[in-house]
Structure 1
Amino acid sequence: MLYRIAVFILKILAFLIFNVKTHNSEKYNNSDGRYIICANHISMIDPVMLAISSKRKICFMGKKELFKNKFLGYIFGKLGAFPVDRSGVSLSAIKSSLAVLNRNEILGIFPEGTRVEKYDEKNAKPGIAMIANKANSNIIPVYIKGNYKFRGKIDIYFGQEKNYFENYTGKINTEKYTEIGKEILRDIYDLGKDR
């Protein structure tokens, strides 16, 4: 309930402040399946843009520093977000991610782990691929393009859902997870080409 109220208020504010347009989100919004949404990360406002573009609740993975303030941590938790330690393997974040997907909910991740200005495959991490594999969950790449200035245009491009493991058999090691992470990142940024 709190999530829906927050998204309703944020949607009004976002459309007053920015010129927001969402592209190709119909199939995703009309589905009741579980997905992982992976998007590029250009601003702290990106989670808000994804949340207002979705008819369904997105449970976001966020850096643990956002949860240090007890009040904000409580609010983020109530909104379905959970912390991740970006400095190493975060088992609690993996468990929380799998719990979200096992409930047939939507997991939101920014796979680069921090805000970046341009594509660099070195920013790809193996964790997102591992979570998708263990949860047997498809991924929807999303590209956010825009200028977070007053009345600036923000375009949110949803890609096609994809099973990144349909061509893999047997045990998958960290190297393979990293390769798949790079593929996910390429698919995200391909959505922004020639836009």
Structure 2
Amino acid sequence: MNLYPLGKMLCSAIFYPLYRIKVIGAENFPKEGGVLLCTNHIDNVDPPVVGSTCPRPVHFMAKEELFKMPLLKSILPQVNAYPVKRGMSDREAFRNTLKILKSGKVVGMFPEGTRSKTGELGKGLAGAGFFALKGGDAVVMPCAIIGPYKVFRRLKVVYGKPLDLTTYRESRTSAEDMTEIIMSEIQKLIEQNK
């Protein structure tokens, strides 16, 4: 049973009025095909906020510890979340991510790997670049959450234009360089929409 549509409806009903969410650029989102959705990370509720504003269902990696909690372990897989071991190379999570991308679905990722304490965009980890380059025909969709999360204050979720990765794949761009390109696209969205 997939609870994603219900979860999206509930999150929209809560977060849209609570944070007066304004979505910009949703029309840029590809209607089909694999998408690596790369977003800055400023709060614990980023995943449900991105999930409720994204035009397509999003699969998120979630830290393995959450899947050991009694209620969450049965709910998370039903809302397209899958486990990742933090701080180490998790081959199964890598395989899952590439499989989802290559099957034409959307994977949501926070390249910084952890929440920003300052609200400023941090350094991205090479994993984002790796998945971008190895994800078959998937495109990268840069996205910026522009806060802060304050009740009844405007929160913006901005979707940029999809990045065609053909040139980067052909020129054998490194995962680190690819991540830097993705992060600079997110930074541009933040600066243009403050």
What's the counterpart of residue 185 of structure 1? 183
What's the counterpart of residue 11 of structure 1? 12
Following superposition of structure 1 onto structure 2, how do residues 146-165 of structure 1 map, counting pairs within 5 Å? 146-165=147-166
- Distance in 1 (CA, whole Å) between partners of 2:157 and 2:171 is 36
- Aligned partners of 1:164 and 1:180 also within 8 Å: no
Task: Letter of the 1:98 partner, please give it.
Answer: L
- Distance in 1 (CA, whole Å) between partners of 2:90 and 2:164 is 24
1:23 shift after superposition: 0.3
Cα deviation per residue 1:150-178 (whole Å; 9 max; x = unaligned)?
11211011111003451453656xxx211
- Aligned partners of 1:125 and 1:178 also within 8 Å: yes
Following superposition of structure 1 onto structure 2, how do residues 132-171 of structure 1 map, counting pairs within 5 Å? 132-136=132-136, 137-169=138-170
Percent identity reads 25
Cα deviation per residue 1:45-78 (whole Å; 9 max; x = unaligned)?
1111111112311001122222221430221111
- Distance in 1 (CA, whole Å) between partners of 2:101 and 2:165 is 16
- Aligned partners of 2:63 and 2:85 also within 8 Å: yes
Q: Mean alpha-carbon deviation: is it higher for 39-48 or for 179-188?
A: 179-188
SS, match of residue 62 in structure 1: strand
Task: Letter of the 1:143 partner, please give it.
Answer: A
Q: How has the CA–CA distance of structure 1 residues 190 and 27 changed in structure 2, closer, same or farther, with 3 Å as cutoff? A: closer
- Aligned partners of 1:84 and 1:93 also within 8 Å: yes
Task: Letter of the 1:186 partner, please give it.
Answer: S
- Aligned partners of 2:28 and 2:162 also within 8 Å: no
Following superposition of structure 1 onto structure 2, how do residues 73-112 of structure 1 map, counting pairs within 5 Å? 73-112=73-112
- Distance in 2 (CA, whole Å) between partners of 1:131 and 1:187 is 16
The answer to whether the aligner puts 1:25 opposite 2:22 as a matched pair is no
Q: What TM-score do the two structures reach when normalised by structure 2?
A: 0.90
Q: What TM-score do the two structures reach when normalised by structure 1?
A: 0.89
Q: Which runs of 5+ in 1 are unaligned?
A: none
Task: Letter of the 1:96 partner, please give it.
Answer: N
The answer to whether the aligner puts 1:119 opposite 2:117 as a matched pair is no
SS, match of residue 12 in structure 1: helix
Q: CA RMSD in A?
A: 1.7
Q: Which runs of 5+ in 2 are unaligned?
A: none
